[in-house]
Amino acid sequence: MPLFGDPHILYLMPPIRKPTLSFIIPLMDEALTLKELHSRIAVQANEHSRGWEVIYIDDGSKDNSWEVIQELAKDDPEHVRAFKFRSNRTKAPALATGYKEATGEIVFTLDADLQDDPKEIPRFLEKLNEGEGWDIVSGYKEKRHDPWHKVLPSRIFNKMLSKVNGVHLHDHNCGFKCYRSEVVKDLPMYGEMHRMVPSLASIEGYKTTEIVVEHHARKHGVSKYGWERIIRGFLDMWSVFFVKTYRERPLHFFGTIAVFLGMLAGILWLIGFIPIIPEALRTALLAAAPAAFFAAPVCLAVGFLAELIGYRHYKEGTDVPIIERIDVSDAAAMEKVISLDEMKENITSGPVPKILIADDDPVTCGISSRILKIEGWDVSIAGTGEEAMAMITPDVHVMLLDIYLPGLSGLEVLPKIKQLSPKTQVVVLSGSDKPKDGAGAIKAGGFDFLSKPVKRDELVKVLNNALMASRALRPEEKAV
């Protein structure tokens, strides 16, 4: 299961520290462009990140796109991840999959047709860290290499969308975008809402800006969009407007309509009894008045029902988009508040931290290893307790040890590890949340205990704390 943390907490990186990057590429029938696209991304990512991944989402391709992706994964297994849909599900579900799986601190989305140029990546990163607090940078294809009958409706739609939803961009629909990771973890992505990303993000208070990007003419394949998307986009625009404006007070919307209909019924009824009005018109007005009158309580009932649903939702608990947090138990603790960035700087200032993962679950090993390599750890993996004891050395700072290993269990291995390498801190991992497992782990000498599935930020935080405890026992590893 993927490990990722609370999407509502904003973590800012030190300017000198290169971020980790995730590139999400939704595609359908783009076999001819994928190898060139990957090589272009690699050039920029190797230069501007300390770790990166490309997540390809094959949305029901009928050509050999998946075979090409398999070749890329074989040639570059460290950076390629891929998911294939059984049938075409459209772009929003593809992006939703990529958002869920992304592990980078910064997430890019771009199309696979080579119309988006990866050479723009450093400009996106520069704009994102400009100091204005941007959460999303959207591309703006000022000069588009598309036919006029595609460009003109798009321009009109973008102006309407900017006006209605209050996020002023030239090109909401551009697929080339850059996000902070917490944004993509927080965005609902369904239907065809991929066109509404900046508008949806604004609901939670995220800020969007844009940069002009170069747009290339399509070399291979054909566009997957037609005129019908204009109609769907228009409806989605008003859907987002309603959610943004009335999601916490739906009765205000339906109640206003109910009051209007009630007043209209009264006016029609009064006008219908004016003698000078022609008989046919009077009959029509008197017939319309009851319809408006009875429609009013229906709208009111819908509003009350929506309020009831909303009340239950908020009573059960709703995440609030907190971007900073300080928890202290007394006033003295306020004298020294260490930010996450400062903690990361302290951790990464010494020699490269080494970790040994002992787990027989290849999924957990793979995801944990990927995350920790991105965080700057030197990772080794053992599949059994016996193998872990053979691999442990005094220079291993931390060990992530699964309790339920084949052969010797984690609790049997732990005291032996502490004898072989006393300065190594052992974090015990278990698929069970039984209190006795945690108590047994601590009693046997474990530094901490985690239950699967572990959130990414929880894993990183606990292992960083273990690293600091291990380094405290190693005076030669002083922070620079």
- The domain limits of the chain are 20-240, 250-316, 331-472
pTM (2 d.p.): 0.54
Q: What is the pLDDT of residue 262?
A: 84
pLDDT band at 457 (very low <50, low <70, confident <90, very high): confident
CATH number assigned to the domain with residue range 20-240, chosen from the 4 options 3.90.550.10, 3.90.180.10, 2.40.50.140, 3.40.50.1360: 3.90.550.10
- The pLDDT value given to residue 218: 64
First to last CA, the chain: 37
d(CA 289, CA 136): 50
317 vs 211, residue with greater confidence: 211
Closest CA relative to residue 81, chosen from 56, 58, 50, 61? 56
Using CA of residue 37, residue 38, residue 44, residue 48, what is the dihedral sign?
positive
Task: Report pLDDT for 134.
Answer: 87
pLDDT at 32 exceeding the cut of 80: yes
Torsions phi, psi for 356 (to 5 deg): -115, 120
d(CA 240, CA 203): 9
The residue ranking higher by pLDDT, 447 or 345, is 447
* pLDDT above 70 (res 304): yes
Cα 36–chain centre separation: 26
- Output the six-digit token pair for 91: 């772009």
Q: Report the C-alpha gap between 359 and 350 in whole angstroms.
A: 27
Q: Inform me whether the pLDDT recorded for 198 exceeds 90.
A: no
At 323, the pLDDT band (50, 70, 90 cuts) reads very low
What pLDDT is stored for residue 150 in this prediction? 61
d(CA 324, CA 11): 8
Find out whether 297 and 258 touch, Cβ atoms under 8 Å: yes
pLDDT > 80? residue 177: yes
Residue 383 is classified by DSSP as: S
Beta carbons of 393 and 356 less than 8 angstroms apart: no
| pLDDT (average), residues 126-139 | 84
Least confident of 10-24, 86-100, 297-311, 400-414: 10-24
CATH 3.90.550.10 fits 331-472, yes or no: no
Q: Does 20-240 match 331-472 in CATH topology?
A: no
Q: Please classify residue 189 by burial: count the beta carbons closer than 10 Å to its beta carbon, then call 0-12 exposed, 13-18 middle and 19+ buried.
A: buried
pLDDT band, very low/low/confident/very high, at 229 (cuts 50, 70, 90):
low
Q: What is the mean pLDDT of residues 265-294?
A: 83
Give pLDDT, residue 322: 43
| CB 199, CB 244: distance < 8 Å | yes
Mean pLDDT of the chain: 78
How confident is the model at residue 186, as a pLDDT? 77
Per residue in 459-469, pLDDT tens? 888 899 899 88
User: DSSP secondary structure string, 23-56?
Assistant: EEEEESS-TTTHHHHHHHHHHHHHHH-SEEEEEE
pLDDT at 398: 93
Nearest to 455 by CA among 21, 107, 103: 103
pLDDT of residue 161: 66
Residues 6+ away with beta carbon under 8 Å from 16? none
Contact 451, 432 (CB under 8 A): yes
Spatial strand order of the sheet with 398-402 comes to 378-382, 354-358, 398-402, 425-430, 448-451
* pLDDT tens figures, 107-132: 999 988 888 899 999 999 999 888 67
Assign 441 to helix, strand or coil: helix
